[in-house]
């Protein structure tokens, strides 16, 4: 097996340098743990950006992968396959929509939602051809395609990749007044929003932001498009972040007082437990029906291997009560981090929901403090990654036990307190 040093050297020599990884090589994973080639064990506090909510190599998901991989993997959508319908019914029932369109990566899910929204604007809302606009938020992260980076305000993601796709209007996140102003334009077709901004540093909006945004969208006949690629599938202590404080396990009554219903819902990442790339856009028929045969698709979207894995991944969320566990461990984590904050001047703020949390470090976003702390955390057996300079996101797999979490908290405490 390649050593840590050799594996890093090979990636550095032959790989494009489009990432700046922490200097650790992962060779194996199981549940909340990963190991490097030398056999050192780490707690994974990134979970592949919340794709591995069900834990690494979950046996139920891997069984599904093994069985389906020996049976049928890819048919294309030129033919029906005998797994896709089962997946479609399960996700529609679980999330409360009439139809689903399966894709592969998250960015493809976002692109799909944008296309559906624009087509709906011309065919149902009556927006003049080529004039549809979609309102997006500042500091958004929705993926890496040329259209999606066109409405990013991260210069790293955007600069020198133009010309940019037109038709997007930006408003500040968590600002209902600015949203309301933008919605006065009758060519606005949709409002694309993350219920919590993960990449931007786990920005949690005001409690009533999404509900009021949904009301404004409804009043102006604008589609609310929720990107739950990172926040969905139990991560924030409910099946979807738009479920708010609902305590259901998925197929629930979705009480009006806790649930904000998007018109288009985008899922990815943990939808297939980090075992296979599966994304999906959900909507009711009235909206989804604008897409006719030949107008959108993907060779791999809805393939039997991916959707079989996704079915198993959703079963794990239900059978292992990951919603409740994320909620319970998340509140322990935040209260322990707030305790640390009172003892340690390094911690500026603690925020998050469920097991999607962040600690903002008391230093300039240009400093290397958060990075250096993550290197120390790694040396102490815990893997986390800074986002936006001085923010550390903490997002372990949702299968963590309370005992494991307490061990992790003591690693974080030790690392921060030793720093000074
Ligand atoms: C990760 C992510 C995406 C993009 O998903 P990919 O699978 O990397 O294309 C889009 N939106 C949000 C909110 C994400 O976290």
What tens digit of pLDDT does each residue of 175-190 get?
999 999 999 999 999 9
Q: Is the dihedral of CA 81, 85, 86, 87 positive or negative?
A: positive
In angstroms, the Cα distances linking 66 to 72, 284, 328 are 11, 33, 33
CA of 126 from ligand 1 middle (Å) equals 30
Pocket test for ligand 1, best of 228, 233, 268 (most atoms within 8 A of CB): 268
**Residue 49 near ligand 1, beta carbon < 6 Å:** yes
CA of 270 from ligand 1 middle (Å) equals 11
**Residue 268 near ligand 1, beta carbon < 6 Å:** yes
CA of 344 from ligand 1 middle (Å) equals 33
Task: Ligand 1, residue 279: give the atom nearest the CA.
Answer: 7
Average pLDDT over residues 156-184: 98
DSSP structure class, residue 45: S
Pocket test for ligand 1, best of 108, 137, 139, 141 (most atoms within 8 A of CB): 141
pLDDT of residue 244: 74
Task: Report whether pLDDT(294) > 70.
Answer: yes
pLDDT tens-digit series, residues 335-344: 999 999 999 9
Residues designated catalytic? 141, 227, 269
Closest-CA residue to 376 (of 337, 322, 417, 345) = 417
With both helix axes pointing from N to C terminus, report the angle between 209-219 and 176-183 in degrees, rounded to the nearest 10: 10
pLDDT of residue 249: 55
pLDDT of residue 243: 84
Task: Ligand 1, residue 199: give the atom nearest the CA.
Answer: 15
Supply the Cα-derived Rg of the chain in whole angstroms: 21
Task: Ligand 1, residue 144: give the atom nearest the CA.
Answer: 9
Whose C-alpha lies nearest to ligand 1, atom 11?
Answer: 142
Residue located via tokens 């400093």: 367
The answer, yes or no, to whether the previous bond of 163 is cis (omega within 30 of 0) is: yes
**Residue 36 near ligand 1, beta carbon < 6 Å:** no
CA of 357 from ligand 1 middle (Å) equals 17
Average pLDDT over residues 163-185: 98
Instruction: Tell me the pLDDT band of 251, cut-offs 50, 70 and 90.
Output: very low
Integer Cα distance of 232 and 227 in angstroms: 9
What are the tokens at 213? 């945004």
Q: Name the CATH topology of 4-54+322-419.
A: 3.90.1150
Average pLDDT over residues 68-74: 98
Average pLDDT over residues 72-77: 98
**Residue 106 near ligand 1, beta carbon < 6 Å:** yes
Q: Which CATH class is domain 60-319?
A: alpha beta
CA of 345 from ligand 1 middle (Å) equals 33
First CA to last CA across the chain, in angstroms? 38
Domain boundaries in the chain?
4-54+322-419, 60-319
pLDDT tens-digit series, residues 192-247: 999 999 999 999 999 999 999 999 999 999 999 999 999 999 999 999 999 876 65
Task: Ligand 1, residue 110: give the atom nearest the CA.
Answer: 10
**Residue 110 near ligand 1, beta carbon < 6 Å:** yes
Beta-bridged to residue 218, according to DSSP, are: none
Integer Cα distance of 124 and 48 in angstroms: 38
Instruction: Tell me the pLDDT band of 257, cut-offs 50, 70 and 90.
Output: low
Pocket test for ligand 1, best of 52, 53, 140, 143 (most atoms within 8 A of CB): 143
pLDDT of residue 223: 98
76, containing H or E segment:
none
CA of 196 from ligand 1 middle (Å) equals 13
Pocket test for ligand 1, best of 50, 269, 298 (most atoms within 8 A of CB): 269
């Amino acid at each position: 097996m390649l050593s840590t040093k050799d594996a890093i050297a090979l990636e550095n020599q032959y790989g494009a340098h489009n990432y700046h990884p922490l200097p650790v090589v992962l060779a194996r994973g199981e549940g909340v743990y990963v190991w490097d080639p030398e056999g050192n064990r780490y707690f994974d506090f990134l979970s592949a950006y919340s794709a591995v909510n069900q834990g690494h190599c979950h046996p139920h998901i891997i069984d599904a992968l093994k069985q389906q991989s020996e049976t049928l993997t890819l048919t294309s959508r030129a033919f029906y396959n005998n797994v896709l319908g089962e997946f479609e019914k399960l996700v529609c029932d679980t999330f409360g929509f009439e139809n689903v369109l399966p894709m592969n990566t998250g960015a493809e899910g976002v692109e799909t939602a944008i296309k559906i929204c624009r087509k709906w604007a011309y065919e149902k809302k009556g927006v003049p051809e080529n004039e549809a606009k979609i309102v997006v938020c500042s500091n958004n992260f929705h993926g890496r395609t040329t259209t999606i980076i066109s409405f990013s305000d991260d210069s790293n993601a955007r600069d020198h990749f133009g010309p940019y796709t037109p038709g997007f209007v930006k408003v500040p996140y968590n600002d209902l007044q600015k949203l309301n102003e933008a919605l006065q334009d009758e060519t606005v077709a949709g409002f694309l929003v993350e219920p919590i901004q993960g990449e931007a540093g786990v920005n949690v909006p005001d409690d009533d932001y999404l509900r009021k945004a949904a009301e404004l969208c409804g009043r102006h006949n604008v589609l609310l498009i929720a990107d739950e690629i990172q926040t969905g599938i139990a991560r924030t202590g409910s099946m979807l972040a738009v479920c708010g404080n609902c305590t259901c396990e998925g197929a629930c009554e979705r009480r009006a007082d806790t649930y904000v219903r998007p018109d288009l819902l985008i899922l990815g990442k943990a939808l297939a437990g980090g075992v296979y790339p599966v994304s999906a856009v959900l909507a009711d028929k009235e909206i989804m029906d604008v897409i006719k045969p030949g107008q959108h698709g993907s060779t791999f979207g809805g393939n039997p291997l991916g959707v079989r894995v996704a079915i198993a991944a959703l079963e794990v969320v239900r059978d292992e009560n990951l919603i409740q566990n994320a909620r319970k461990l998340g509140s322990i984590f935040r209260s322990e981090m707030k305790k640390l904050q009172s003892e340690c001047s390094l911690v500026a703020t603690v925020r998050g929901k469920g097991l999607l949390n962040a600690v903002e470090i008391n230093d300039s976003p240009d400093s290397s403090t958060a990075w250096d702390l993550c290197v120390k955390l790694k040396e102490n057996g815990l893997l986390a990654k800074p986002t936006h300079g001085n923010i550390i996101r903490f997002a372990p797999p949702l299968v963590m036990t309370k005992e494991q979490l307490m061990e992790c908290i003591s690693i974080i405490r030790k690392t921060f307190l030793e720093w000074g």
